[in-house]
Chain A
Amino acid sequence: MKANGSSAERGRRDGPPILEMQGITKRFPGVVALDGVSFDVRPGEVHALVGENGAGKSTLMKILGGVYAPDEGTLLLDGRPISFSHPWEAQQQGISIIYQEFNLLPYRTVAENIFLGREPIRRGLVDYARLRRDSAQLLARLGVDQWIEPDMLVKDLPVARQQLVEIAKALSFSSKVLVMDEPTAALTDREVELLMGLVRQLRDEGLAIVYISHRFKEVFEVADRITVLKDGRKVGTVDAADVTPDDLIRMMIGRPLDAYYPEYARPEDIGPPLLEIKGGGNDVLDDINLTVRAGEIVGVAGLQGSGRTELLRAIFGIQPFTRGTVRLRGQEVRIRSPLDAVRLRIGFLTENRKEEGLALLQPVRDNILLVHRALRPLLAKANGAPSVAELAGQVDLRAAGLDQEVQYLSGGNQQKVVLAKWLAVDADVLLFSDPTRGIDVNAKASIHRLIRSLAQSGKAILMASSELPEIIGMSDRIVVMWDGRIHGELPAGATEAEIMALATGQREGRRST
């Protein structure tokens, strides 16, 4: 991994900006999302935009993309004022935005997606030959034509390649400005490297790139300048070469990094094994031997596709084990469905809180009590035993009230609601999968403290994560997955290099017993 590159490797930083946003203010009912923010980007530079969730990054980009109109302020493209009445117009003017959620049609081909709505027409019909040719050219220009062919269906491509299709689509508009919103959220490290290379290549071709990311490593790798937003205001714009990640965190939250992770467990905190798996396996997992004891956090590291999340899903009965034995609190159990797992007081929390964790239209109260109710007779009274207020206090929930719909909570608070749901039934084996993905730095630290305090209260915690710093900062032991197996085990405080050596299958690890 390269450190901050020398200025020679970086993009141009002189010359007039191609795009300027001046004094942009945007108000929504009850909140000022942006307050006089100015931002510019020059041709041939990568300008990173960072800030916590809710800092105003997405709103700023939606104004740039023509999704919202600003209440105050001006947009200049090539020095001329512009305004959009529809996102289509922004694209026509040369501003392309790749959102976190892709706008691709899964059952259409790559070529059809790239030129969606602008298909070349010949005698009133779509000219498929030209469509394929033009797409092939674009893919070749990106240097990805060996992986992606114009005739492939988008649904058959892995996420990383779908991303490349989005980029090709953006380039097909002969864009001058390319905005990438959290482009690496779903990519493996290798794919991130490829993407970084591509971003540099596009930059060198003279494109102006706005790069939004939570991941500082990438930001420092590609950005020429970095702008930090906080609470709708601009904290500052700095040259990437002049600052360190710690400086950036201070700018974002006004607090240094060392408060970030809680202490590891002490030997006397650790109790008897609560979860023991011997020889577990199914379609994607094999020979899983794993013990998690009361009071400890066991981290599960591994690249995407290594079986990291599948391991948790197998334990929770979503894709159950078909081989091996599982013992819970010393008793052999069979878990064939999530309901079985819930009945055995196993809790599950994922990064997909909106899809898998919450009923978004329902109030905090009903979400927190959902598991509790599921375990009681159907016609039992809905409210009663566990005090929702107490549970909310236990997870330090910040909500307007217990009757607030969870869709209006921030990501961190939503995740706390999911956690409270499991505390309501006293689940003592907790499975976490990327518990803080997409959550801002402050809320992350608070979730991490919460997870540690749960361990201290005697719960057994198995935490899979795609973020190595999180694995290293939190885990009392680390198991590393590779190819559907546990490839090795490392003690607390292992380094990223040690983990990666196991995760990429390069080194045989110490076998867990």
Chain B
Amino acid sequence: MPPIFVVLLVICVWISFLNPRFATVPGIMSFLMRAAPAAILAAGQLFVIVSGGFDLSVGSLITLVVLGSSMLIGGDPANTPWVIAVMFLIGIAVGVFNGAVTSWLKVPSFITTLGMLVTLKGFALLWTGGAPRGALPNNFRVFGRNRLSGVPLLDEVPYAVIILLVVAVVATYLLHRTGWGKQLIALGDNPRAARLSGVPTAKVRILAFVASATSAVIAGILLGGFSGVSTNVGDGQELGAISAAVLGGAKLLGGRGTMPGAIAGALTLQALFTLLNLLGWPKPLRDGLQGVIIIGAVAYTAWRERRS
């Protein structure tokens, strides 16, 4: 079993000692509900990481989804369906752009998506005049904060958890069971060999960025529902997603990574922050720890590679 699952288990047991309610069905459900956006984002990010790139634009894309949805819906719940459709289209467009610029103009994805991060955030703030405006109607927020009741055994299941489950299954299938997923990993491992084996590298890579951007749109819809409209809802989410993937055993610069690992990595980060909160660490310190974790995780993987 990959080490990340052990770490996750240990942290969860520890939390249960401090807070016995955590180890109940409702406790686990609300934990998963809070973790769902980050886990979905990590799943999307993994597609780009195994291909040898980064997608830093997802945090701003989330902000754009939340602010843009509130602007377009304008308080009329009847607008929600088409606005959600538009958000997915925007996500796909951002993904295609990131992937195309990276593939054809040979701009490293780190730079392409960093530029996109700044641009999308700027665009979102320009649209709303710099402050959160309006509110999201209930039929939008339902995905992020409501629960499906009457489920056998579990009683209530948050919609976010169901969505996470679906995303996890689909993403695992795409990465580990389709020709695309395998070609993506091969591309990240050795781009030149992949090209000389006939892999349509641009197409394969663009799709990875589309997957990542789509995951950001889903995460944005959940976060908007969970915590409402704010201008910093997406800040730092990209780093969380990359950390999660690396904690889950993915190799930065490509060629290695598993979907269950990345999702477990995201859950572990969420559990760790829950634990530190219970232990009374102040929030800035908890946030700051994330930087240490990503450096530590990458150093650990590098050390393990060197040893083998």
With A359-B186, A376-B179, A379-B178 as contacts: A370 and B194 at CB distance below 8 Å: yes
Q: Given the complex, which residues of B lie within 8 Å of A357, measured CB to CB?
A: 193, 196
The verdict on A249 contacting chain B, using a C-beta distance below 8 Å, is no
Q: Is B185 a contact partner of A359 (Cβ separation < 8 A)?
A: yes
The verdict on A375 contacting chain B, using a C-beta distance below 8 Å, is yes
CA distance A355 to B189 in the complex (A): 10
The verdict on A318 contacting chain B, using a C-beta distance below 8 Å, is yes
The verdict on A137 contacting chain B, using a C-beta distance below 8 Å, is no
CA distance A339 to B255 in the complex (A): 21
**Which one, B177, B179, B256, contacts A361 given CB within 8 A?**
B256
With A361-B256, A362-B185, A421-B197 as contacts: A378 and B179 at CB distance below 8 Å: yes
CA distance A370 to B188 in the complex (A): 13
CA distance A383 to B181 in the complex (A): 12
The verdict on A448 contacting chain B, using a C-beta distance below 8 Å, is no
Q: Is A378 a contact partner of B192 (Cβ separation < 8 A)?
A: no
CA distance A281 to B148 in the complex (A): 68
| Chain B residue with Cβ nearest A376 | B179
| Chain B residue with Cβ nearest A380 | B179
Q: Given the complex, which residues of A lie within 8 Å of B180, measured CB to CB?
A: 378-379
Q: Is B200 a contact partner of A361 (Cβ separation < 8 A)?
A: no
**Which one, B198, B255, B256, contacts A371 given CB within 8 A?**
B198
CA distance A350 to B192 in the complex (A): 12
Q: Is B198 a contact partner of A359 (Cβ separation < 8 A)?
A: no
- Of B176, B192, B207, which is in contact with the most chain A CB atoms at under 10 Å from its CB? B192
Report the minimal beta-carbon distance from A49 to chain B, rounded to whole angstroms: 27
- Of A341, A361, A366, A375, which is in contact with the most chain B CB atoms at under 10 Å from its CB? A361
Report the minimal beta-carbon distance from A272 to chain B, rounded to whole angstroms: 25
Q: Given the complex, which residues of A lie within 8 Å of B283, measured CB to CB?
A: none
| Chain A residue with Cβ nearest B181 | A382
| Chain B residue with Cβ nearest A316 | B196
Q: Is B196 a contact partner of A373 (Cβ separation < 8 A)?
A: no
The verdict on A117 contacting chain B, using a C-beta distance below 8 Å, is no
Q: Is A381 a contact partner of B178 (Cβ separation < 8 A)?
A: yes
CA distance A367 to B182 in the complex (A): 9
Q: Is B190 a contact partner of A369 (Cβ separation < 8 A)?
A: no
**Which one, A338, A343, A361, A380, contacts B196 given CB within 8 A?**
A338
Q: Which of A311-369 contact B (CB under 8 A)?
A: 316, 318, 338-339, 341-343, 348, 355-362, 366-367, 369
**Number of residues in B with C-beta < 8 Å to the partner?**
28
With A366-B185, A381-B178, A382-B182 as contacts: A371 and B190 at CB distance below 8 Å: no
Q: Is A356 a contact partner of B196 (Cβ separation < 8 A)?
A: yes
Q: Is B198 a contact partner of A338 (Cβ separation < 8 A)?
A: yes
Q: Is A377 a contact partner of B193 (Cβ separation < 8 A)?
A: no
Q: Given the complex, which residues of B lie within 8 Å of A341, measured CB to CB?
A: 198
Q: Is B200 a contact partner of A382 (Cβ separation < 8 A)?
A: no
**Number of residues in A with C-beta < 8 Å to the partner?**
33
CA distance A369 to B181 in the complex (A): 13
Q: Is B177 a contact partner of A382 (Cβ separation < 8 A)?
A: yes
The verdict on A501 contacting chain B, using a C-beta distance below 8 Å, is no
Q: Is B189 a contact partner of A360 (Cβ separation < 8 A)?
A: yes
The verdict on A253 contacting chain B, using a C-beta distance below 8 Å, is no
Report the minimal beta-carbon distance from A348 to chain B, rounded to whole angstroms: 6
Q: Given the complex, which residues of A lie within 8 Å of B293, measured CB to CB?
A: none
The verdict on B183 contacting chain A, using a C-beta distance below 8 Å, is yes
CA distance A359 to B183 in the complex (A): 10
Report the minimal beta-carbon distance from A369 to chain B, rounded to whole angstroms: 7
Q: Given the complex, which residues of A lie within 8 Å of B195, measured CB to CB?
A: 338-339
Q: Is A381 a contact partner of B255 (Cβ separation < 8 A)?
A: no
With A362-B186, A370-B186, A374-B198 as contacts: A356 and B178 at CB distance below 8 Å: no
Q: Is A370 a contact partner of B204 (Cβ separation < 8 A)?
A: no
Q: Given the complex, which residues of A lie within 8 Å of B198, measured CB to CB?
A: 338-339, 341-343, 371, 374-375
Q: Is B196 a contact partner of A362 (Cβ separation < 8 A)?
A: no
The verdict on B21 contacting chain A, using a C-beta distance below 8 Å, is no
Q: Given the complex, which residues of A lie within 8 Å of B197, measured CB to CB?
A: 338, 342, 370-371, 374, 421
Report the minimal beta-carbon distance from B104 to chain A, rounded to whole angstroms: 13
CA distance A338 to B192 in the complex (A): 11
Report the minimal beta-carbon distance from A268 to chain B, rounded to whole angstroms: 34
| Chain B residue with Cβ nearest A350 | B196
The verdict on B71 contacting chain A, using a C-beta distance below 8 Å, is no
CA distance A316 to B198 in the complex (A): 10
Q: Given the complex, which residues of B lie within 8 Å of A358, measured CB to CB?
A: 190, 193
**Which one, B178, B204, B256, contacts A380 given CB within 8 A?**
B178
| Chain A residue with Cβ nearest B254 | A361
Q: Given the complex, which residues of B lie within 8 Å of A318, measured CB to CB?
A: 196
| Chain B residue with Cβ nearest A379 | B178
The verdict on B135 contacting chain A, using a C-beta distance below 8 Å, is no
Q: Given the complex, which residues of A lie within 8 Å of B194, measured CB to CB?
A: 359, 370
CA distance A421 to B204 in the complex (A): 19
With A339-B200, A361-B256, A370-B199 as contacts: A355 and B193 at CB distance below 8 Å: yes
Q: Given the complex, which residues of B lie within 8 Å of A348, measured CB to CB?
A: 196
**Which one, A338, A355, A356, A379, contacts B179 given CB within 8 A?**
A379
CA distance A421 to B196 in the complex (A): 11
| Chain B residue with Cβ nearest A339 | B198
Q: Is A369 a contact partner of B193 (Cβ separation < 8 A)?
A: no
Q: Given the complex, which residues of B lie within 8 Å of A380, measured CB to CB?
A: 178-179
Report the minimal beta-carbon distance from A371 to chain B, rounded to whole angstroms: 5
**Which one, B185, B192, B256, contacts A355 given CB within 8 A?**
B192
Q: Is A378 a contact partner of B196 (Cβ separation < 8 A)?
A: no
Q: Is B186 a contact partner of A356 (Cβ separation < 8 A)?
A: no
Q: Given the complex, which residues of B lie within 8 Å of A366, measured CB to CB?
A: 182, 185-186
Report the minimal beta-carbon distance from B146 to chain A, rounded to whole angstroms: 32
Q: Is A370 a contact partner of B192 (Cβ separation < 8 A)?
A: no
Report the minimal beta-carbon distance from B191 to chain A, rounded to whole angstroms: 10
- Please name 16 pairs of A and B residues whose Cβ atoms are closer than 8 Å in the assembled complex, sorted by A: A338-B196, A338-B198, A339-B198, A342-B198, A348-B196, A359-B185, A361-B189, A362-B186, A366-B185, A367-B186, A370-B193, A371-B197, A373-B183, A375-B198, A377-B179, A378-B180
B: which residues have CB within 8 A of A?
174, 176-183, 185-186, 189-190, 192-200, 203-204, 207, 251, 255-256
Q: A359-B255, A374-B199 are in contact. List 9 more A-B contacts (CB 8 A).
A: A361-B189, A361-B256, A362-B186, A362-B255, A366-B186, A370-B199, A378-B178, A382-B181, A383-B177
